Amino acid sequence: MRSGDDQRFRDALIVGSLLAPEGAGAYGTAMHWWGWTAGAEADDKVGSAGSACLMVTFIAPKRKQAMRPELLGVRFELVLIKPERMFGAVLLGEPGLRMRVTDPERTVVDVLDRSDLCGGVSAVAAALRAAWPALDLERLTAYLERFAGGTVPRRLGYVVERLGLLPPDDPLLARWRALIGSGYSLLERGGPAAGRFVRRWRLRVNVPELG
């Protein structure tokens, strides 16, 4: 980003952290913060009034109603999650200018859970390749266990193997497979019910470029 855009994005994260003090910047917003993508969720978007509008996405514990305020050309998308899933955030910045963002390992979990909030699984796969060398895989595995549910380990394991980031006999993949349970999930959330079935990960690969 240009320096002005970078400052605008940082300011949006600070404001978002004030609006959702128990939450954290997440999904495509966190991908953009960690430098894994050009930032589909953090690019200028056209708002309802026709002006350029920056959008950032935060997770926060469930409340009765989600708020989607727009302030000074920034749209804040609040995604409500179960309180027990509110973990893995880091506090950054100087006193008075604090921001909260999901850490790299939690960001991986989130983008595989909700690829629709960060440009789709193909964008997630590119981000995972960029993030991989610096990830703490033990922490990532602990987050998979804490997040609960078998869909994210299925998607992660398949994409990691598909990209050649770990060999099929790596013990870590066996730990992830132990979390997947029965039934099948789609690789792309909300995508078509099409594509081949991968029994090893109990996944239907509905994204041709990752087939």
DSSP codes of every residue in 98-142: -EEEE-HHHHHHHHHH-GGGTT-HHHHHHHHHHHGGG--HHHHHH
Confidence band for 66, pLDDT divided at 50, 70 and 90: low
Q: What is the pLDDT of residue 187?
A: 98
Q: 15 or 3: whose pLDDT is higher? A: 15
Q: 68 or 158: whose pLDDT is higher? A: 158
Q: What is the pLDDT of residue 2?
A: 46
Is pLDDT of 98 > 70? yes
Is pLDDT of 69 > 90? no
Q: What is the mean pLDDT of residues 13-23?
A: 92
Q: What is the pLDDT of residue 44?
A: 38
Q: What is the mean pLDDT of residues 61-84?
A: 81
Q: What is the pLDDT of residue 50?
A: 37
Q: What is the pLDDT of residue 4?
A: 57
Q: What is the mean pLDDT of residues 42-65?
A: 63
Q: 43 or 199: whose pLDDT is higher? A: 199
Q: 72 or 64: whose pLDDT is higher? A: 72
Phi, psi angles (nearest 5°) of residue 41: -85, -5
Q: Is 166 helix (H, G, I), strand (E, B) or coil?
A: coil
Q: What is the pLDDT of residue 38?
A: 54
* CA separation for the pair 24, 163 (Å, rounded): 29
* CA separation for the pair 204, 211 (Å, rounded): 9
- Span 159-203, pLDDT tens digits: 999 999 999 999 999 999 999 989 999 999 999 999 999 999 999
Paired with 92 in beta bridges are 99
